[in-house]
Structure 1
Amino acid sequence: MTNSTDSRTSLRRKVVIGAILATLAGAAFLAWNRLKPQGLPASIASGNGRIEATDIDVATRSSGRLKELLVKEGDDVTEGQVIARMDTATLDADLQRAQAQLKQAENSKTTAAAVLAQREQAVNTASAVVAQRQAEVNLATKQLQRTQELINKGFVSPQKLDEAQAQLAGAKAGLSAAQSQVAEARSAIVATKSQLVEADSVIATAQASLARVQADLNDTVLRAPRAGRVQVLAAQAGEVLGAGGRVVSLVDVGDVYMTFFLPETAAGRVAIGSDVRLVLDAAPQYVIPAKVSFVASVAQFTPKTVETTAERQKLVFKVRAQIDRALLERYRQQVKTGMPGMAYVRVQPDTPWPDKLATALPVQAYDKPSSAP
């Protein structure tokens, strides 16, 4: 008896569940039947999609502490606007050190240049001494020749010849010493020039270090890479972030589009630039104009083998409809991403749009004529 009762209870549960499922299916069918496009010509294809926009993450380049955050969620920012600043205490110290190193290198070059001038002057002085010693050698040589002639004629004693020879030898020794001083001074010039080249290298290195620190300092000021709207604040002032740490996420409300999918038979007739009409679920009374900016060249959800016509109908291609930037700028405050809707694309350019897909946009406050003061 117990088994019979349990069976009847189970049967009743199955009947109730079946009735509920049937009711839900019927409701879903009625909803779909009411929402699906009615009376569209064959020259217009449609697909459902969702409004999207280009997302931009503003992140740190180096690790550090977030000093201040200058925006909040929902703020509209312009290109180049300062969004946040990082703490720069460490980088300020690095900057001072790099500046000191550059100054030291420049002073070393100045000192080397002064030494080079001294070495060049020493060469000039030694060269003058060489000329003097050469003149003394020439004079001593002539005196030796005259003394030899006088000795040959018997006018002087042979002892004078020894004196003349000694004077000539002394003059030649002085000339050799002066020439050595010139060579030494010139070698010093070469060494000093090498020091100058090294000083230039040290200056270049210091300048590179200074530029790197300055670049790091510039990167501590986080700016909006393009105009957009703040969507997410991923960090708060005082937090320590690693390199590449996300601070703010922006959405470019001037780059808005809807991505939808069309079957192979329709996508094959869609061209770049084709007219599109977008109708959002949240505002079905408005029809937004757009144009096809992208049609995928590779199908998605493709079966492994495509042989029959029925299988080919399973091919779908991603299509993107871009909304005009001027229109987006006009309705900037109303732009919302993530909203679902329908996209209707004209696969035959000469086909007129049905009345229900004629462009219909909300009236802006500044579109109305202003009242007299």
Structure 2
Amino acid sequence: MRFIRPMVYSAMAVVIGTSAFLLTSKQAVSQTDAVNQLHPTAYIETNEVSASFKVGGRVTEVLVKEGDSVKKGQVLARLQSTEIEAKVQQAKAAVALAQGKIAEAEGATATAEAKKQQGIAGVNVTADTAEQQIAQAQAAVSAAQAKVDGLHNGARPEEKKQAEIQFQAASEVYTIAEQNLNRMNAMLAQGLVAQADVDKVKVSFEEAKTKRDLAQQQLNMANQGPREEEIRGAEALLAQAQATLKLAEANRGTVQVRQGDVAAADAAVQQAQGAIKSAQSGELQAKAAQLEAETYLSYTDLVAPTDGVVLYQSAQVGELVGSGFPVFSVESTEQRWAKFYMPETSVAGLKVGNKISMTMLSTGEKVEGTVTTVAAAPDFAIKKATQTSGETDIRSFGIKIELNQLPVTATTGMTLQWIGKTEG
């Protein structure tokens, strides 16, 4: 009995001590959980972006190194571009050639249009001249016929009067012919008619002059009486006037010839305009080829896809790289965030857009951010009840905070501690 009682006392002491230790440990764990629930921690996170060439080739330049800060669009490396540069120059030459063809076609169009307008003017002049020549020749024939008839019939007072009228008519014809000659000479100086047309009018002028002189002689003969040789001369002039009339009527065909020239010139204009459209189409194709070549040339420059820091480099100068090969990995600094995991009992009332205050554990500096996501965590993050009496499972939620502005001392991976929601 003396030995049993001490053993019982010892056992009771062990049980009491163990119970006290477990109770103290549970309280300490509960206090730690409470602190972690109220002020959880998370890491500063960001995206890691690969920088790759759009085309394959040999690396000729590397302009940055690991650890360098880069700006979006900054050239990081270059590929060999000799062949592509040659294609760009070839495309530019094709554009210049197409533009030269356009200028050539436009010049041909202008020339054809000028010939067309000159032909139209020639048709109008020729038509007017032909009708005037016919009218003059008809008048000359009438005058010559009247003269011959008058000589055969002998001069009478009426005939004398008629001779005077014929002389006046011939004088008028001469005046018209002289005016036509002057006008044709002026148009010849302007390049609107040919020398041949002027020569024809000049012939008409000489004929009108001759007829006027003949009318003068006939008037004199009417006053003095005809002679045999005068009668023969008048008949010869009549024959000449009739021949002139036939020639003038034949000249009407020249108008149709000139109209054919106008039609040919118009066809040349249409052809030249078609050449312009064809050359313009060629220019568009050449410019498209130039743009394509210049685009491929731009692909030989590897630019930073984002603001950030170069983490590592996977290719060196002289190496061949393929399209899409990650030459650099860049840690983006354009947007950084932290993701806190909190029990559902602590996220009540949180919503997207709330402003959150945090502290950097390494420096104690304050950081602010904005809630962008409130989402339930996976099932493994559910805190299971340890006892069945009065306890329930507690689910965790992931709270993603977009960091608005970090201190210059902040680095991706540093720890932030939750303080709480700010006012406003």
TM-score by length of 2: 0.61
User: Which residue identity does 1:299 align to in structure 2?
Assistant: A
Give CA deviations for 1:154-213 in whole Å, capped at 9, x if unaligned. Answer: 756996787456424432211111111112112211221221222222222222322232
1:37 CA drift (Å) = 5.6
Q: Cα distance 1:142–1:311, how it changes in 2: closer, same or farther (>3 A)?
A: farther
Q: Cα distance 1:39–1:55, how it changes in 2: closer, same or farther (>3 A)?
A: closer
Q: Distance in 2 between matches of 1:123 and 1:310?
A: 105
Contact 1:59–1:247 (Cα < 8 Å) also in 2: yes
The answer as to 2:423 corresponding to 1:346 is: no
The answer as to 2:271 corresponding to 1:200 is: no
Q: Cα distance 1:313–1:39, how it changes in 2: closer, same or farther (>3 A)?
A: closer
Q: Distance in 2 between matches of 1:116 and 1:78?
A: 54
The answer as to 2:326 corresponding to 1:253 is: no
The residue aligned with 1:85 is 78
1:83 CA drift (Å) = 0.9
TM-score by length of 1: 0.68
1:273 CA drift (Å) = 3.3
Give the match's secondary structure for 1:266.
Answer: coil
Q: Distance in 1 between matches of 2:75 and 2:364?
A: 36
The answer as to 2:373 corresponding to 1:295 is: yes
The answer as to 2:58 corresponding to 1:58 is: no
Q: Distance in 2 between matches of 1:290 and 1:95?
A: 51
The residue aligned with 2:291 is 211
User: Which residue identity does 2:411 align to in structure 1?
Assistant: V
1:233 CA drift (Å) = 1.3
How does 1:278-289 map onto structure 2 within 5 Å? 278=359, 283=362, 286=364, 288-289=366-367
| Match for residue 95 of structure 1 among 68, 88, 110 | 88
Q: Cα distance 1:202–1:147, how it changes in 2: closer, same or farther (>3 A)?
A: same
The residue aligned with 2:411 is 335
Contact 2:359–2:367 (Cα < 8 Å) also in 1: yes
Q: Distance in 2 between matches of 1:299 and 1:149?
A: 121
The residue aligned with 1:69 is 62
The residue aligned with 1:114 is 107
Give the match's secondary structure for 1:267.
Answer: coil
Q: Distance in 1 between matches of 2:358 and 2:124?
A: 99
Contact 2:347–2:397 (Cα < 8 Å) also in 1: yes
Q: Distance in 2 between matches of 1:189 and 1:34?
A: 99
User: Which residue identity does 1:262 align to in structure 2?
Assistant: M
Q: Distance in 2 between matches of 1:62 and 1:85?
A: 11
Q: Distance in 2 between matches of 1:113 and 1:60?
A: 44
Q: Distance in 1 between matches of 2:85 and 2:123?
A: 57
1:349 CA drift (Å) = 5.0
Q: Cα distance 1:124–1:77, how it changes in 2: closer, same or farther (>3 A)?
A: same
User: Which residue identity does 2:44 align to in structure 1?
Assistant: I
Q: Distance in 2 between matches of 1:310 and 1:139?
A: 127
How does 1:102-251 map onto structure 2 within 5 Å? 102-143=95-136, 145-146=138-139, 149=142, 155=149, 163=243, 166-251=246-331
1:99 CA drift (Å) = 1.2
Percentage of identical aligned residues: 20
The residue aligned with 1:6 is none
| Match for residue 274 of structure 1 among 355, 371, 374 | 355
User: Which residue identity does 2:420 align to in structure 1?
Assistant: R
Which protein is richer in helix relative to its size?
A: 2
Contact 1:264–1:312 (Cα < 8 Å) also in 2: no
Q: Distance in 1 between matches of 2:326 and 2:76?
A: 12
The answer as to 2:396 corresponding to 1:320 is: no
Higher Rg: 2
Gaps of 5+ in 2: 1-21, 150-234, 381-389
Q: CA RMSD in A?
A: 3.6
Contact 1:49–1:343 (Cα < 8 Å) also in 2: yes
Give CA deviations for 1:67-115 in whole Å, capped at 9, x if unaligned. Answer: 2211111112234432111111111111111011011111111211221
User: Which residue identity does 2:376 align to in structure 1?
Assistant: A
User: Which residue identity does 2:367 align to in structure 1?
Assistant: P
Q: Cα distance 1:312–1:100, how it changes in 2: closer, same or farther (>3 A)?
A: farther
User: Which residue identity does 1:344 align to in structure 2?
Assistant: W
Q: Cα distance 1:290–1:169, how it changes in 2: closer, same or farther (>3 A)?
A: same
Contact 1:54–1:252 (Cα < 8 Å) also in 2: yes
